[in-house]
């Protein structure tokens, strides 16, 4: 009989870190293991795990580091020892055997606490560029799993395994009887101002018959009252929107790209120009290369 182990998983900040963590956690539970998700008490995290009630949820008070002002960075660093002590307690009480981190600054204290307690650490990086937190965690990790090949040289102890896709992202066999061109626009869990500002104007003036579903991001719906579109701050089931669409217009976060590709949909990628380390551009270049290779076969 296979022995059950206790695994702590953590990813924070965006859906691109959180949803892969929850997907892996769900598979581990299906395999008979116990999973604790460590987050920062955000609504996005709670929504992500609500369909997997077997995941135990724990949280610490933690905000991002890069991209924040000096004062916020100082506050994050001052709270770091407190958070590490809390994590030491969580790991001990739950008898955690292994830790898997998926990115976001919250994974730094998680990795440090695991290191102190001699727990094996595993890293999953979704993008073609290692994020800042994953870059630090990778130095002490037993293994680094990659969603896509890294843009720069590969690192030791790494393996390309792909990005975890939620089980609901399966194309349906039945297609709607609709002659309109169906477009799903998404800027990810946070929305994208450039897409929100420009695409409605461009698509409003097209001569084609189109239907549009547009995810604009939290607290942005009232800014874009376009009657031609179905616009929501956040769609709880993006799999249904991707499946409904003929093609997707999105930023180039690794999860959005991977999920759309898994549904065999066309994709117009508009990388975020000021993404940290320009990882969205490299994600888009990799997907474009892979798509071109498949078409040539």
Q: Which residues contact 77 (CB under 8 A, 6 or more apart)?
A: none
Same fold, 6-160 and 181-296: yes
pLDDT less than 50: residues of the chain: 227, 295-297
pLDDT of residue 162: 93
Euclidean distance between CA atoms 15 and 66, whole angstroms: 17
For the stretch 53-70, pLDDT in tens is 899 999 998 765 555 566
Structure tokens at 260: 């759309």
Every domain of the chain and the residues it spans: 6-160, 181-296
- 150 to each of 24, 108, 137, 252, how far by Cα in Å? 21, 21, 16, 15
pLDDT of residue 1: 54
Q: Do the Cβ atoms of 245 and 182 come closer than 8 Å?
A: yes
What CATH superfamily is the domain 181-296? Glycogen Phosphorylase B; (3.40.50.2000)
CATH topology of domain 6-160: Rossmann fold (3.40.50)
Structure tokens at 192: 């994208």
pLDDT of residue 277: 81
Euclidean distance between CA atoms 217 and 188, whole angstroms: 8
- Measured from the Cβ of residue 172, the count of other Cβ atoms closer than 10 Å reads 11
How remote is the C-alpha of 14 from its chain's centroid? 6
pLDDT of residue 295: 44
Structure tokens at 39: 């987050």
- Measured from the Cβ of residue 148, the count of other Cβ atoms closer than 10 Å reads 22
- 23 to each of 36, 111, 153, 180, how far by Cα in Å? 13, 20, 28, 33
Tokens 């579109």 correspond to what residue? 229
How much is the pTM? Answer: 0.85
Long-range contacts of 73-78, Cβ-Cβ distance < 8 Å, separation of 24 or more: 76/105
């Amino acid at each position: 009989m296979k022995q059950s182990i206790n695994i702590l998983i953590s990813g924070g900040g965006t859906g691109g870190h959180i949803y892969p963590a929850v997907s892996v956690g769900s598979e581990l539970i299906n395999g008979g293991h116990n999973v604790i998700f460590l987050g920062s008490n955000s609504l996005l995290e709670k929504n992500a795990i609500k369909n997997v009630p077997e995941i135990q949820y724990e949280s610490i008070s933690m905000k991002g580091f890069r991209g924040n002002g000096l004062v916020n960075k100082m506050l994050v660093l001052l709270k770091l020892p407190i958070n590490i002590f809390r994590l030491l307690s969580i790991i001990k009480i739950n008898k955690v055997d292994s830790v898997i981190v998926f990115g976001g600054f919250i994974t730094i204290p998680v990795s440090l606490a695991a290191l102190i307690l001699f727990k094996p650490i595993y890293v999953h990086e979704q993008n073609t560029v290692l994020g800042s937190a994953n870059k630090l965690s990778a130095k002490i990790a037993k293994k680094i799993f990659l969603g896509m090949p890294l843009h720069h040289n590969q690192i030791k102890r790494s393996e390309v395994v792909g990005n975890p896709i939620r089980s609901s992202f399966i194309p349906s066999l039945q297609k709607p009887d609709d002659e309109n061109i169906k477009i799903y626009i998404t800027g990810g869990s946070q929305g994208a101002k450039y897409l929100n500002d420009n695409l409605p104007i461009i698509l409003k003036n097209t001569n084609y018959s189109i239907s549009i579903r547009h995810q604009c991001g939290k607290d942005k719906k009232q800014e874009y009252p376009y009657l031609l579109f179905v616009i929501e701050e956040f769609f709880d089931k993006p799999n249904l929107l991707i499946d409904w669409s003929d093609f997707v217009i999105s930023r180039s976060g690794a999860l959005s790209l991977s999920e759309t590709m898994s549904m065999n949909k066309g994709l117009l990628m508009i990388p975020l120009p000021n993404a940290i380390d320009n990882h969205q551009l490299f994600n888009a270049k990799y997907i474009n290369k892979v798509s071109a290779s498949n078409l040539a076969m």
